[in-house]
């Protein structure tokens, strides 16, 4: 024996508004009507507007509405906090990249100065005539 269970949200017939467009089901996340489903024409309250709008759900209890509003407030607060943290991360990442670049430039500058100094010392050493002495002699 097979059971054919279906909830009201699993299958709902397509609904067309007065102007003939498909009116999709949407969910409100407004403060006044959190999580309340509705259907509206895609051109509802826009240019060339259609006036088709219909609530699909009954009003929820005041307690449920308050809980949903509180959760929405918390979610908004957390989203703002996440945005602030992402901005801080991006700022710190930029600062770190600048410090790495500065460090690399300082290294290259020091290395260049060292190479110039070494060349200067070697040229003086080569001119001094002591080339035949020390490490340059092979026996």
The string of pLDDT tens digits covering residues 11-36 is 567 787 777 778 888 888 777 777 78
CB atoms within 10 A of CB 28: 14
Q: Given this model, what pLDDT does residue 6 score?
A: 40
Q: For residues 46 and 114, which has the higher predicted lDDT (pLDDT)?
A: 114
Residue 8: strand, helix, or coil: coil
**pTM of the predicted structure, to 2 decimals:** 0.43
d(CA 117, CA 40): 79
- DSSP E strand boundaries for the chain: 25-28, 36-40, 53-55
Determine the average pLDDT of the residues in 100-108: 95
d(CA 61, CA 107): 68
d(CA 139, CA 127): 23
Q: Are 17 and 50 in contact (CB under 8 A)?
A: yes
Band of pLDDT at residue 2, cut at 50, 70 and 90: very low
13 φ, ψ to 5°?
-60, 150
């Amino acid at each position: 024996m097979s059971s054919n269970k279906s909830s009201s949200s699993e299958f709902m017939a397509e609904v067309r508004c007065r102007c003939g467009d498909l009116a999709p089901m949407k969910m409100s996340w407004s403060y006044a009507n959190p999580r309340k489903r509705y259907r509206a024409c895609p051109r509802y309250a826009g240019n060339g507007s259609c006036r088709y709008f219909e609530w699909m759900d009954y009003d929820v209890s005041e307690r449920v509405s308050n809980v949903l509003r509180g959760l929405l407030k918390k979610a908004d607060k957390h989203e703002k906090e996440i945005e602030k943290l992402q901005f801080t991360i991006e700022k710190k990442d930029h600062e770190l990249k600048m410090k790495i670049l500065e460090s690399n430039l300082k290294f290259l500058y020091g290395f260049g100065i060292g190479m110039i100094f070494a060349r200067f010392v070697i040229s003086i050493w080569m001119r001094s005539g002591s080339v035949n002495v020390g490490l340059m002699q092979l026996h």
